[in-house]
């Protein structure tokens, strides 16, 4: 063996050791990030109208102890009337939905009937981000007392909780074939089944809540890309169409443009279809515009999530390629999206009481106009000074 060969071998060995060390460090950093996302809890302060806290596992015990069990906050006026379910977090990468639920529960007052709030319907999906998308795992909301941090999750159940995916997802009970990843998409798995996958069991438990509590109106909050036709829209089950139509007309005339679509009978697994088909509830889904999930935007930053301003999307808006107006000057900030959800929900609840006086629910929470004027942080309360019994880490 030559001297050159003898010195080359230790050098190559050292290179391999260095590479392995770098890989180990990167894996450790990545592992810490995944662990932090998995375990992070959002802090919310309920209004003193809270009467009871339940869990989804109360309606399907097999969910207890899983990452898909999630809290349900109940606000009962004690005055006979109707009942409403407001649900955020079906798709946690649409975080204005959960934030609207948090702001609702932090400020709600109920004078008649009952309101049920599920802020994070697909809790497992909050514990991971969309792999490969390089987007921030959280965003901050500035408040009068500091800042509050909220997660940006995934669209589907964390694969750590449900895996592997089948090649084709066959929806139960329709038998309709869907994309394989929709087996972990909560809004493709209704009405669910008690012995199905984890996501199907979550769907079944939500249906059990609606049926057993005799929920009169169920509202599912979502966000959509601006280049998706059904954006800025109520999507309503057949029996809720008149209510949603009147609410959309009212909002469009007084507050902001709102469209209306009837739930297609051919699309299976969605809340706006299956909630109404498998219970007596009046089912409504709401979509607000979220630039963050448009395919053509630039860097997926926290600012894009909170302010909704993107140069590339403005080019599409200028060409009339978006289904709601878009300008770089205004964007679609979080306060606008959250406010649309809160006033959109209030309006359909108001019209339910007009159409069905026996189902009337009288409840108040911050409105679109208040959110536009004061922003989201104004309506979040300081957990350090709140009643400890009303502070929840979710």
Round to whole Å and give the CA distance between 213 and 116.
Answer: 10
Residue 3 pLDDT exceeds 60: no
Note whether 273 and 362 are same-domain residues: yes
Note whether 221 and 98 are same-domain residues: yes
Contact of 230 with 261, CB cutoff 8 Å = yes
Number of other residues whose CB lies within 10 A of the CB of residue 384? 10
Residue 16 pLDDT exceeds 90: no
Round to whole Å and give the CA distance between 303 and 19.
Answer: 35
User: Could you give the angle at the alpha carbon of 328 between the alpha carbons of 326 and 333, nearest 5°?
Assistant: 75
Note whether 11 and 83 are same-domain residues: no
Note whether 147 and 259 are same-domain residues: yes
- Residue 346: predicted pLDDT: 98
Average pLDDT of the residues in 331-357:
98
Q: Look up the CATH number of the domain holding residue 263.
A: 3.40.630.10
Neighbouring residues of 24: CB distance < 8 A, sequence distance ≥ 6: none
Exposure of 223 in the CB half-sphere (CA atoms within 13 A): 31
- Residue 133: predicted pLDDT: 78
> Per residue, what are the HEC states of 294-330?
CCCCCCCCHHHHHHCCCHHHHHHHHCCCCCCCCCCCC
Look up the pTM and report it. Answer: 0.94
Number of domains within the chain? 2
Note whether 134 and 31 are same-domain residues: no
- Residue 134: predicted pLDDT: 83
Among residues 232, 371, 377, 226, the alpha carbon closest in space to that of 292 is found at: 226
C-alpha separations of 70 from 124, 240, 298, 305, 355 in Å: 9, 27, 34, 24, 32
- Residue 220: predicted pLDDT: 98
Note whether 248 and 320 are same-domain residues: yes
Average pLDDT of the residues in 113-138:
92
Neighbouring residues of 364: CB distance < 8 A, sequence distance ≥ 6: 108, 109, 111, 346
Residue that wins the pLDDT comparison between 341 and 32: 341
- Residue 8: predicted pLDDT: 58
Note whether 70 and 215 are same-domain residues: yes
User: How much is the CA Rg of the chain, to the nearest whole Å?
Assistant: 23
What is the rounded average pLDDT for all residues in the chain? Answer: 95
For residue 3, give its domain range.
Answer: 1-39
In the numeric block, the tokens 């599409």 are attached to 316
- Residue 5: predicted pLDDT: 54
User: Could you give the angle at the alpha carbon of 138 between the alpha carbons of 90 and 219, nearest 5°?
Assistant: 20
Average pLDDT of the residues in 42-55:
98
Of the given ranges (15-29, 143-157, 277-291), which has the lowest mean pLDDT? 15-29
Note whether 156 and 85 are same-domain residues: yes
Residue 393 pLDDT exceeds 90: yes
- Residue 7: predicted pLDDT: 56
Q: Where does the pLDDT of residue 391 fall: very low under 50, low under 70, confident under 90, or very high at 90 and above?
A: very high
Q: Where does the pLDDT of residue 381 fall: very low under 50, low under 70, confident under 90, or very high at 90 and above?
A: very high
Note whether 269 and 177 are same-domain residues: yes
Round to whole Å and give the CA distance between 280 and 49.
Answer: 27
Residue that wins the pLDDT comparison between 302 and 13: 302
Round to whole Å and give the CA distance between 130 and 134.
Answer: 8
Residue 185 pLDDT exceeds 90: yes
Per-residue model confidence as pLDDT tens digits over 219-236 = 999 999 999 999 999 999
Residue 1 pLDDT exceeds 70: no
Average pLDDT of the residues in 21-49:
89
Note whether 212 and 350 are same-domain residues: yes
Average pLDDT of the residues in 41-59:
98
Angle of helix 96-107 relative to helix 334-355, nearest 10 degrees? 60
Note whether 172 and 28 are same-domain residues: no
Per-residue model confidence as pLDDT tens digits over 275-325 = 999 999 999 999 999 999 999 999 999 999 999 999 999 999 999 999 999
Return the percentage of the chain with pLDDT > 70, whole number. 97
Note whether 235 and 290 are same-domain residues: yes
Average pLDDT of the residues in 43-61:
98
Q: Where does the pLDDT of residue 34 fall: very low under 50, low under 70, confident under 90, or very high at 90 and above?
A: confident
Q: Where does the pLDDT of residue 265 fall: very low under 50, low under 70, confident under 90, or very high at 90 and above?
A: very high
């Amino acid at each position: 063996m030559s001297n050159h060969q003898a010195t080359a071998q230790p050098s190559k060995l050292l290179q391999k050791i260095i590479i392995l060390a770098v890989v180990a460090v990167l894996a450790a950093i990545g592992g810490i990030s995944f662990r932090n996302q998995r375990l992070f809890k959002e802090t919310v302060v309920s209004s003193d109208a809270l009467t009871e806290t339940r869990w989804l596992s109360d309606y399907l015990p097999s969910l207890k102890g899983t990452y898909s069990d999630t809290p349900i906050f109940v606000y009962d006026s004690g005055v006979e009337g109707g009942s409403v379910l407001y649900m955020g977090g079906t798709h946690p990468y649409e975080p204005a939905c959960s934030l609207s639920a948090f702001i609702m529960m932090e400020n709600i007052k109920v004078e008649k009937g009952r309101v049920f709030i599920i802020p994070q319907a697909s809790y497992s999906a909050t514990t991971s981000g969309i792999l490969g998308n390089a987007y921030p795992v959280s965003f901050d909301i500035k408040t009068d007392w500091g800042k509050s941090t909220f997660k940006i999750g995934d669209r589907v159940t964390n694969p750590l909780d449900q895996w592997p995916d089948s090649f084709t997802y066959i929806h139960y009970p329709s038998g309709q074939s869907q994309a394989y990843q929709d087996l972990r998409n909560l809004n493709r798995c209704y009405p669910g089944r008690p012995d199905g996958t984890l996501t199907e069991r979550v769907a079944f438990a939500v249906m059990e809540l609606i049926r057993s509590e005799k929920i009169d109106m169920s509202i599912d909050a979502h966000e959509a890309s601006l280049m998706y036709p059904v954006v800025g829209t109520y999507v309503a089950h057949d029996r809720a169409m008149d209510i949603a139509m009147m609410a959309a007309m009212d909002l469009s005339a007084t507050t902001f443009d709102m469209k209306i679509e009837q739930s297609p009978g051919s699309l299976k697994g969605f809340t706006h279809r299956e909630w109404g088909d498998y219970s007596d509830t009046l089912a409504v889904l709401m979509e607000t515009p979220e630039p963050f999930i448009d395919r053509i935007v630039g860097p997926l930053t926290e600012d894009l999530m909170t302010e909704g301003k993107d140069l590339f999307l403005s080019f599409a808006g200028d060409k009339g390629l978006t289904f709601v107006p878009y300008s770089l000057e205004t964007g679609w900030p979080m306060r606008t999206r959250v406010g649309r959800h809160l006033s959109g929900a209030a309006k359909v609840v108001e019209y339910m009481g007009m159409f069905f006086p026996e189902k009337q629910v009288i409840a108040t929470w911050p409105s679109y106009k208040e959110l536009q004027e004061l922003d989201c942080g104004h309506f979040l309360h300081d957990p350090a000074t709140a009643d400890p019994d009303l502070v929840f880490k979710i």
